[in-house]
Structure 1
Amino acid sequence: MSIIENLTSDRANWMSRLSDSLSLRDLSIPGTHDSGTECVAKGIAHCQNHSILKQLEEGVRFLDVRLKKDGGTLKVVHGIVDCKIDFKKVLEWCLNFLETNPRETILMCVKNDGDANIAQLFLDHVNDSKYKSLFLQTNKVPTLGDARGKIVFFRRFNSGDIEDYKEFGINWIVGWKDNTVFDINTDQGDKFTVEDCYNESNTNKKLDVVKKTLGKSLNDSARMFVTFCSIASGYGRLINTPYRYAWGGGTVDPAVNPKVYEYIAYRGYNKRFGIVIADFYNDEGADNYLVDSIIRSNFKAPSNDTIEDKGIYQILCKCSLKHIDINGRKKEDNVEAVIWTPYDAESQQFSFEHVDKDTYRIVAVHSGKCLEPTGSKNRDKVVQKAISNSDNQLWLLEEKEEGWLALKSKTSGLYLDVNNGNKHNGNSMVVYEANGTDAQRFNLHRFKVVTNTNNSVNASKAVTVKSK
């Protein structure tokens, strides 16, 4: 078993829990589009809300870096827009991150967004004594073990006749196509499928091609899939910025990132989605659930055999892909359990206290109170109540398809259910007879236990999973 000790802080070292023998081709890897645009003014060229260092600390492992030659400097740019940092700053951030987290790796795609060739100047930066050991010297997709502590370089610029590039960098410049889905097959035998339909302003059509590419990644282990979820603003569409395409606003409906999250989270653990690249990966810093869902897909789901006594979990509802929450974060008895968009709060964390074979009390971390049905009839609500010895507070966990679980009340035999399968925030949790629907299917995201002296449970936000 492999434990991510604290997902909020240990997003920085999630790769360390995976086997050295895995190829990077075997992984689901969160990435950012135009990664260096944090300091760009809000608008059509602004694609990220955090620095590259913070992106890495929050679990991102693929960086899309656009450069322009400016004398002896390589500036980070987005088209004609100066991003107000240079490439040495990017390298400094990467070096600091990998020195702190030596079992991680960074995949870095570099594109020339200027007129002058950058090939020699890029090598001059890479061969600087400070950064010379930072890049993995390879032209093939490596194993994770070989890549740990290094940057794996993907080249999207013309190298000219410079000999060094024959053995350095995975060549994406040959075969890259514009605004479509395409394959790249390198001379070294690596095969890629890339979706980069950046000029599709109809988000329904964009999502169709994104989902199709993600779906193919689940079934074709011979290829590495690269999915750009981003949309460019472009002339004539200036009302809609990259942020709006990602998270909604203006005339955008549906927003892309929540739908990508739903597609990935619905498929649960132990899946392979390739490199998934987004603008504004965490909705202006409010949450990180898109990146978290990509990370979790690399691991196996908790089961009755692996659920830890008093382990702390978030409970994901399959029908809504939202978490069970205690309404309003209140701590009093008889407050309803509801569904809510995932976010970092103790009212969305529950301790599973083992009582008997496959039987648990489910205790809300923020209040120290148990989930309990208010009755034994269909659609009776589920609330929190002070811990007692009542069997009415006991739940049996039944393993279902692909890591999903059902939770059955011991006293009534009714199942925990999202009322009517409605997906809106604040919808009640109820009990209902078995119906086999997604409203009665749940996934557990495990957290580390810390017990207070007042007998309530505190959490340090972590996930426990099985590595492949």
Structure 2
Amino acid sequence: MADLTIRNLTATPLELKVVERFEGHPVSSKGTSQGNFTSRITGIFNSSSVAPHVQPQGDVRDRKEVMIPIGKFETRETDIRAADPGREVLRLTFESDGHRYQIDAPSSSPRCSVAKKLDDGPNEYTCVYVQSGSCLAIFSSAHLSSWMNQLHSDYPLTALSIPGTHNSPTCHVALPSVRCQAVNVREQLDNGVRFFDIRVSVNIDNSDLSLVHSAFPISLTGNKYFHDMLKDVYAFLDANKSETLIMSVKREGTGRGTDHHLSKYLKERYCNDGTKWFTKSYIPKLGEVRGKIVLLRRYANDPVLDGENGGTGFGLDCSQWPDNCADEMTGSGIARVQDFYDVDQSHNVQKKIDLVRGHLERAGEPVYNHRDAPPEYKPFFVNFLTASNFFNANCWPEKIAAKVNPAIIEYLCLRHGAIGKGPAGLAIGDARTGIVVTDWVGQGGDWDLIRCVVGWNAKLQLKAVVCLR
């Protein structure tokens, strides 16, 4: 067995104090067979569909007191033998500022959890154990409903690591090729998602916008509408004033309305409340948009809206969106996109995984300097983990997500922000992830991928001490 590696991806120093070793017994979660226990990843809060869980049994077999300090954003290789897969559990006790926290690696829990507090410690730690790398990655991403509260208001949104969902409201009973999400939009928001990808069908004589995925409605039981979804978003933002949501809106479906119809409907009916929407054409700072929805438009405005906002237009302009691309800029230069989606065979999924990793590395290279930054710090790095093929059941969204999501969790835990471990060997800047757009998160309580993305914002907390005094 390999020795344990620990990555402290938080803004607080840690010290490993106690290592206890237990006999472990694999336990299956609902819908998970014993045959799935050969999965590569085990998590402290992991997916019941792709990862094993191991329950400690009996008394501790071995206990050792140690003193292994792990600094902020430090990776520490230890001489502690990692747990024998499926047969052992390591119980690790860490100390930070005099308080102790306990973690099992791997864990028996199929749902998101945080390290157990052994006293009244103020910090919250969430962790992923990557079995293939014998690595425990520790994040400070426990408060998913209000994670932006920890970030300085002066940061532009492009400096953040932002989790998102593709075809965000498609959680309803629908064709397997249409459904992309496991849970509804409010649950996504409560668990940290801050970028929504919305597709609407537009009519000529009616401003009701039905939610669609390509030509299909998102529910087999009747149309779902944009205005109803907004009620859930508004309720969340009213309850979480520190947060913002970037909403990408695109016209699809069978309606005969044009982009121009859509732009006028949004301006006149939906986005005209400045207390709820940010519709200017520049990339805002976080403090400008807390409690609001930021409109990112993947449609062309009607010319009548060209005079909005001092002649700069209405909304962030991503109307010239590159199609099926590996790495291209939008026409406006606001976003740099990886959106390769045309996976025609299941073995091509590896190509998709490689493209996602490459874009994560590119997103992590730039360095944001508060004092020297231009008025618009851009671009957004938008990285779609999603792909599908209507004619191939092995390439429907859920099947693709079952392969891509765990691979990207592994990358974020083992290689992201680590010198020389990215696909192209680029320099390590702020190690942001950019906007990471996913399918099928939250299934069975699995928010690992969201937590990993949110967790990388801790690097900004370190910069804040230097740049924002």
TM bucket (normalised to shorter chain) is 0.5 to 0.7
Contact 2:279 2:316 in 1 (8 A): no
Contact 1:4 1:10 in 2 (8 A): no
Q: Match of 1:285? A: 444
Q: Match of 1:91? A: 230
Give the whole-Å Cα distance in 1 for the aligned partners of 2:446 and 2:267: 34
* 1:216, distance to aligned residue in structure 2 (A): 0.8
Q: Match of 1:172? A: 318
Structure 1 stretch 110-119 or stretch 203-212: which is displaced more?
Answer: 110-119
SS for the counterpart of 1:49 is coil
Please tell me the root mean square deviation across aligned C-alpha atoms, in Å: 3.0
Contact 1:91 1:131 in 2 (8 A): no
Contact 1:74 1:122 in 2 (8 A): no
Distance 1:119 1:53, change over 3 A: farther
Q: One-letter code of the match for 1:93?
A: D
* 1:230, distance to aligned residue in structure 2 (A): 0.2
Larger Rg belongs to: 1
* 1:240, distance to aligned residue in structure 2 (A): 3.2
For 1:403-422, what aligned pairs fall within 5 Å after superposition? none
* 1:93, distance to aligned residue in structure 2 (A): 1.3
Give the whole-Å Cα distance in 2 for the aligned partners of 1:62 and 1:302: 21
Give the whole-Å Cα distance in 1 for the aligned partners of 2:188 and 2:263: 23
Distance 1:302 1:93, change over 3 A: closer
Give the whole-Å Cα distance in 2 for the aligned partners of 1:220 and 1:16: 23
Give the whole-Å Cα distance in 1 for the aligned partners of 2:217 and 2:286: 34
For 1:237-386, what aligned pairs fall within 5 Å after superposition? 237-247=392-402, 255-267=403-415, 271-282=431-442, 284-300=443-459
* 1:85, distance to aligned residue in structure 2 (A): 1.4
Matched, 1:78 2:226: no
* 1:140, distance to aligned residue in structure 2 (A): 1.2
For 1:189-204, what aligned pairs fall within 5 Å after superposition? 190-200=333-343, 201=345, 202-204=348-350
Identify which of 303, 313, 316 aligns with 1:161. Answer: 303
Distance 1:121 1:175, change over 3 A: closer
Contact 1:18 1:467 in 2 (8 A): no
SS for the counterpart of 1:276 is strand
The Cα offsets for residues 5-43 of structure 1, whole Å up to 9 and x where unpaired, read as: 697983111001100111111111000001111114251
Contact 2:322 2:330 in 1 (8 A): yes
Q: Match of 2:384? A: 228
Give the whole-Å Cα distance in 2 for the aligned partners of 1:273 and 1:48: 21
TM-score normalised according to structure 1 size? 0.58
User: Bigger relative contact order, structure 1 or 2, given CA contacts below 8 A and separation 6+?
Assistant: 2
Matched, 1:103 2:228: no
Matched, 1:143 2:285: yes
Give the whole-Å Cα distance in 2 for the aligned partners of 1:130 and 1:69: 16
Q: One-letter code of the match for 2:216?
A: V
Q: One-letter code of the match for 1:116?
A: G
Identify which of 66, 70, 74 aligns with 2:199. Answer: 66
* 1:128, distance to aligned residue in structure 2 (A): 4.0
Identity %: 29
Distance 1:219 1:99, change over 3 A: same
Unaligned runs of 5+ in 1: 248-254, 304-464
The Cα offsets for residues 339-359 of structure 1, whole Å up to 9 and x where unpaired, read as: xxxxxxxxxxxxxxxxxxxxx
Distance 1:230 1:130, change over 3 A: closer
Structure 1 stretch 150-159 or stretch 293-302: which is displaced more?
Answer: 293-302
The Cα offsets for residues 333-391 of structure 1, whole Å up to 9 and x where unpaired, read as: xxxxxxxxxxxxxxxxxxxxxxxxxxxxxxxxxxxxxxxxxxxxxxxxxxxxxxxxxxx
SS for the counterpart of 1:73 is coil
Give the whole-Å Cα distance in 1 for the aligned partners of 2:461 and 2:320: 43
Contact 2:363 2:431 in 1 (8 A): no
Give the whole-Å Cα distance in 2 for the aligned partners of 1:48 and 1:125: 25
Give the whole-Å Cα distance in 2 for the aligned partners of 1:129 and 1:34: 19
Distance 1:126 1:102, change over 3 A: farther
Contact 2:365 2:431 in 1 (8 A): no
SS for the counterpart of 1:110 is strand
Q: One-letter code of the match for 2:408?
A: V
SS for the counterpart of 1:116 is coil
The Cα offsets for residues 125-157 of structure 1, whole Å up to 9 and x where unpaired, read as: 554489613111311111111111111111111
TM-score normalised according to structure 2 size? 0.57
Give the whole-Å Cα distance in 2 for the aligned partners of 1:104 and 1:298: 14
Q: Match of 2:327? A: 181
Q: Match of 2:363? A: 217
Give the whole-Å Cα distance in 1 for the aligned partners of 2:460 and 2:285: 24
Distance 1:126 1:145, change over 3 A: same
SS for the counterpart of 2:431 is coil
Contact 2:317 2:334 in 1 (8 A): no
SS for the counterpart of 2:249 is strand
